[in-house]
A = this chain, B = another copy of it.
């Protein structure tokens, strides 16, 4: 399939350039109470530069802008590390249901049992899928999940009167891993990997100032960290904890559980593995699963069940506190819950199998054409380099040329360990 000629291409100005003084795009009921003035000195005159548009101006502006975008609904979107799933339409309907969308976060728990129940059921489902003892659904994205996780690791160390200062992070890691470790007050120690982490490298760095190892599994090369169990054992033996970046969980649902591998804490990206839309850069959600020993440190409030009722438990003295003003990206939780209930156990496993099948199929089709720096069996993604590209072509050229053919390019220049 090639780029066709049937479509329309429309230019569009900035919305401010459409503005015309006196246009209105809103309606308000007549004020039904006496008007009331704020003290003059508190008030501004007008908002300089703010637009004035009619409703049709606004509709056309954003409709036209949208046509400049490519989404999962437009076609194949093979971004490595991003898990660009189909975003089910019924989930959009679900998140907008009255009773969910119009529920205020300060509603008393007895009048919000449906919402709290949904959060609880989602926590339970994620715990089962990942093999962790408990899950918080509060964090707003993967990186915030990482922060929650690293703060819990630090709180755990403090609770043992340990004040370790270092975190080991492999060179394949996503940039959020070191950035998060730093935000939790840690010094980052990069460690080398050769496709996967070797025991030697871990053992060489795992000293008694290391609080944790952050690992991604499968890692950003799409490879399963084959020594993961042993790695966890060594880290634990030497007094550290293991954080897992769960961005790539889509390879493992129903196949293997990070919690069973010895990992202490992991974030999920609901906007990856659990089909919620990326939204052009969020909102997502980054729940975190923890092993038993980290449960006391979970961000608060935690949704708990007592008998048949649910409530937000705030009375958690060892908690790291809260990372958002309210209960997290509830609308995203609704979508993820809808996905899990739609797929069921067999469906989730099948989704993982098909993702891995697809990546390996692409690999099989292209490994004679492109350079494949790491050769062990891929899971849900495969990373090529541009070394074998002829004619002075680089990854970026390939990426842009794919656009000409109507496809979204793959993720490029990541992970940093692969050249091009």
Contacts and interface: CB of A to CB of B under 8 A. Distances in A.
A76 B283 CA distance: 33
Given A9-B9, A27-B342, A73-B63, A55 B4 contact: no
Contacts of A5: 9
Interface in A1-50: 1-13, 27
A406 interface: yes
Interface in A284-334: none
Contacts of A4: 9-12
Counting chain B CB atoms within 10 Å of each CB, which of A5, A60, A69, A72 scores highest? A60
Given A59-B86, A73-B60, A7 B6 contact: no
Contacts of A89: 55, 59
A11 B1 CA distance: 7
A12 B64 CA distance: 20
A413 interface: no
B7 A9 contact: yes
Copies in the complex: 2
Interface string A57-69: 0011001100111
Contacts of A420: none
Contact of A11 (B3, B11, B70): B3
Nearest to A1: B11
Contact of A74 (B1, B8, B70, B75): B8
A124 B211 CA distance: 76
Given A8-B67, A8-B68, A60-B75, 20 more contacts: A2-B11, A3-B9, A4-B11, A5-B9, A6-B11, A7-B9, A7-B10, A7-B67, A8-B9, A8-B69, A10-B74, A11-B406, A27-B342, A59-B73, A59-B86, A60-B74, A63-B73, A64-B74, A64-B75, A67-B67
22 contacts: A3-B9, A3-B11, A5-B9, A6-B9, A6-B12, A7-B8, A7-B10, A7-B67, A8-B67, A8-B69, A8-B74, A8-B406, A9-B9, A10-B74, A10-B406, A11-B406, A55-B88, A55-B89, A59-B89, A63-B73, A63-B74, A64-B74
